[in-house]
Amino acid sequence: MTTASLPTPLFGNSPEALDSPSGNRLPQALEGEIRKIYQRSPLYTRRFPLHSEPLHWSCYQEIPALSKKDIVENGHTAFFADYSEIERGLQEKRFEYESTSGTTSGPMTVIMEDGWWVAQTARAYLAHPQLAQFAGRPYRKCILAPVGCSSNLCPYEDHPFPHRYFDGTVYLNLTSDPFVFPETEWDRILLELQATQPEVLEGEPIYLSLLARAALKRNIRITSLKAVILTYGKASLQHSRRIAEAFPAPQVDLYGSTEAGYLFVGTAFQDDSRVVDANAFIELVPYRGLDDVFQILVTTRDREAMPLLRYHTGDIVRRLPHGFRLLGRERDLYFRPDGSIVSPSEIDTALPADFACWHYSLIQTADNRWDFHYVADHVAPKTVAPALAAMLGTGVRVNAFRRRFIAPAASGKFSLLKPLAR
């Protein structure tokens, strides 16, 4: 196939975000953003010089995708013509920095202009009816998430409660791994939650699930809540149900990353996630020949420091009639011998209706052997292991183990599904 005959790329954005181009021309909004990215960062000119003529799809598809490995290996300084100006900006609080997990070869440093994170969060809120009510007005929010998620964005040092209250937001936890929080720590967190009376509770799903367990144990209710935001990690339906038992407010799934910002927002477990058009263009790349399953390439919008162009996040999505379902990271998905995909959604569907847990992790130990670790108040019904084995495929055996805790990765993140590395 010649470059000229490549099909026009698919995008997850709404039609309004991509104006109708003429012929093979790029939509004006997308071309304009690409031109701005080239002007702001010399990295892209070094990777692929851009001509001055109007851009066509064939040229767009020649622009190499940017990976996390590329960012780690080139270093964050490669995005800037004069990094000494950025260093001065960091000292003067015109820029912020963040360190995120990056790749196995090392962490990724992210530079962002002051105010960018707050602005893109507001745009994400406006993209969902349950969150739009909080955009542009003061409101109280509590966050419970891995301390590594945040650096200077989410202060987490061991300060007393009033000093962890910033612009209406309270950062609840002081350490990572909620499974090792002593009861006195849950007492403190719940006391601060009661004192704050937040309208929004935001957090990593496992943290919020264990918070729900602590709240139910103490018979504590937070009646001020109007929304629960599931973010920072992949939620299971088990997490969602346990959280709802303690905090019966509408749940919203807000997906993104430190380096790219918020990209998708939707009502939790309703398969209606949509692209946050004001934050990014999301290119959909067909994945492994599966119907309506895609890798995503992200081009950020209105980003001055470290703009991303055709950025390969490693995330896989499924397109459904009313929106998208975020399946998870490619490395965390399992593929049956027939090529069909297994994600946490398939696990949730397979689990029997009479099973309930606070957290689980399905771990592959051999080609046809899996261990199902779960944290629950009661031993799982005997039907759980056979149901999971049937879901995984013919000849598969699953052993179920009830645990007191399931340890996170060094980054503080948890995995619901751990296939063998291939």
Concatenated DSSP letters for 228-285? Answer: EEE-SSPPPHHHHHHHHHH--S-EEEEEEETTTEEEEEEETTTT-BEE-TTTEEEEEE
> What residues contact residue 410 under an 8 Å CB cut-off, 6+ apart?
none
Which parts of the chain register pLDDT below 70?
1-5, 21-22, 101-106, 148-163
Asked if 71 and 108 touch (Cβ cutoff 8 Å), the reply is: yes
Question: Looking at residue 409, what is its pLDDT?
Answer: 80
Q: Which superfamily does 115-329 belong to?
A: ANL, N-terminal domain (3.40.50.12780)
Question: Looking at residue 173, what is its pLDDT?
Answer: 84
d(CA 207, CA 174): 13
SS3 (DSSP) at 405: coil
Asked if 116 and 78 touch (Cβ cutoff 8 Å), the reply is: no
- DSSP-assigned letter for residue 56: B
Question: Looking at residue 1, what is its pLDDT?
Answer: 35
Does the domain spanning 333-418 belong to CATH 3.30.300? yes
Neighbours of 420 (CB within 10 A): 12
Question: Looking at residue 286, what is its pLDDT?
Answer: 97
Residues 49-56: contacts with CB within 8 Å, 24+ apart?
54/25, 54/26, 55/25, 55/26, 55/31, 56/23, 56/24, 56/25, 56/26
d(CA 6, CA 59): 10
Question: Looking at residue 5, what is its pLDDT?
Answer: 58
Question: Looking at residue 60, what is its pLDDT?
Answer: 96
| Phi, psi of 311, deg, nearest 5 | -80, 125
Domain boundaries, the chain: 115-329, 333-418
d(CA 61, CA 419): 32
What six digits make up the tokens of 354?
């009479």
Question: Which neighbouring-strand residues pair with 334?
Answer: 342
Neighbours of 15 (CB within 10 A): 9
Strands 106-113 and 95-103: antiparallel
Asked if 400 and 422 touch (Cβ cutoff 8 Å), the reply is: no
Please state the pTM of the whole predicted model.
0.93
